Amino acid sequence: MAGTASGTAGPSGYRSVVWLSGLACGVLAAIAPGIATLGAGLLAPGLVALKLDQEPGRPMARTVLTCGLAGCVQPVITLWNTGQSFGAAVAILSDPATIGIAWGAAAAGWLMTQIAPLIIRAALEAAALARAARLRAARGRIVEAWGLDDKAPDHPPGR
């Protein structure tokens, strides 16, 4: 069994996945060299991100690869419609607009992984500050309505 007691894949399980992935890539390159060449060229930024991302679950690499795949749809359709030859794949890859779109989509995925946490943090901070302001205003209204001393401690003594 390739798992550990916690249910996660152990080192031998990871090696099996890497081996099977390599085998699948080899089979794809042998059966459809045009699609393999086009995929390797257009998804190069995603492959680099996959190699560099060391976080568990590889969130940056998954986002870069997903966005890069979105940029590969039209070139793959074009290759499919032109006969899936190696020459057609090289011709598609030699078009700067095609590379620019696919790599730009991958770059957008990377940028999203860098900016999204900052935007989320800013939104949560703004929501927390707004809630604190609402609570202070409500406290002020309660103090005024009950005629309490605003200088009194927030909690009774002994707590």
- Quick check: is 4 in a domain? no
Q: What is the pTM of this model?
A: 0.65
Give the pLDDT score at 94. 94
The tens-digit pLDDT sequence of the chain (159 residues) is: 444 444 455 556 667 777 887 888 788 888 888 888 898 999 999 989 988 988 888 889 999 999 999 999 999 999 999 988 889 999 999 999 999 999 999 999 999 999 999 999 999 999 999 999 999 999 999 998 998 876 655 655 555
Give the pLDDT score at 155. 58
- Quick check: is 18 in a domain? yes
- Quick check: is 45 in a domain? yes
The domain of 124 spans 11-146
- Quick check: is 152 in a domain? no
Q: Burial code of 45-82, b = ≥16 C-beta within 10 A, e = fewer? A: bbbebeeebeeeebebbbbbbebbbebbeebbebbeee
User: Using one digit for the tens of pLDDT, what is the confidence trace for 125-146?
Assistant: 999 999 999 999 999 999 989 9
Total domains, the chain: 1
